[in-house]
Amino acid sequence: MDISVEDVDGITRVVLQGRLDTAAAVMMELPLNTVAAEKKAIMVDLSSVSFLSSYALRLLLMGAKIAQSKGGKLVLVCPDNNVAKVLRSAGASDLIPVVPDGGAAIAALAAIA
């Protein structure tokens, strides 16, 4: 599991790559929660994530909750694949914006970027 974080034009883009299984999600907690607490407009790109466990799902929801509590917003970028099925199945996509690409994420974050 790899993570990269970059700030461009007021938006923080977090790119996750690989299998976001329970072990990986435990390792991603600190970096993702830190971004969620410190940044306002956050795009978490799951386009290169091939697997998402329930614990990873909780990690993303916790990030969105932290961002929201600080007046920020977290948007997920996720094409329509198996990972998106997990998000839908748990109702996460009803609570966090899930968009298909970076352009749509920028539009969703425009108001606070």
Partner 1 sequence: MTTSAPTMTRRLTIRPEFAQLAAIADWVKDFVRAARLPCERLFAIQLCVEEAVANIIMHSDAAEHDDDIAVELAHGQNHVLATIADRGDQFDPTGSRVFRKPASIDEAAAGHFGIHLMRSFADEMRYERRDGWNRLTLRFGPGQGP
Q: Which residues bind partner 1 (CB under 8 A)?
A: 19, 21-23, 26, 51, 53-55, 57-58, 61-62, 64-65, 68, 82, 85-86, 88-92, 94-96
Shortest spacing between CB 61 and partner 1, in angstroms: 5
Shortest spacing between CB 6 and partner 1, in angstroms: 25
Q: Please state, in angstroms and rounded to a whole number, the distance separating the CA atoms of residues 66 and 81.
A: 26
Instruction: Output 68 or 113, the one with its CB closest to partner 1.
Output: 68
Instruction: Output 7 or 50, the one with its CB closest to partner 1.
Output: 50
**Furthest-apart CA atoms within the chain: distance in Å:** 35
| 3-state secondary structure string across 44-85 | EEEEEEEEECHHHHHHHHHHHHHHHHCCCEEEEECCCCHHHH
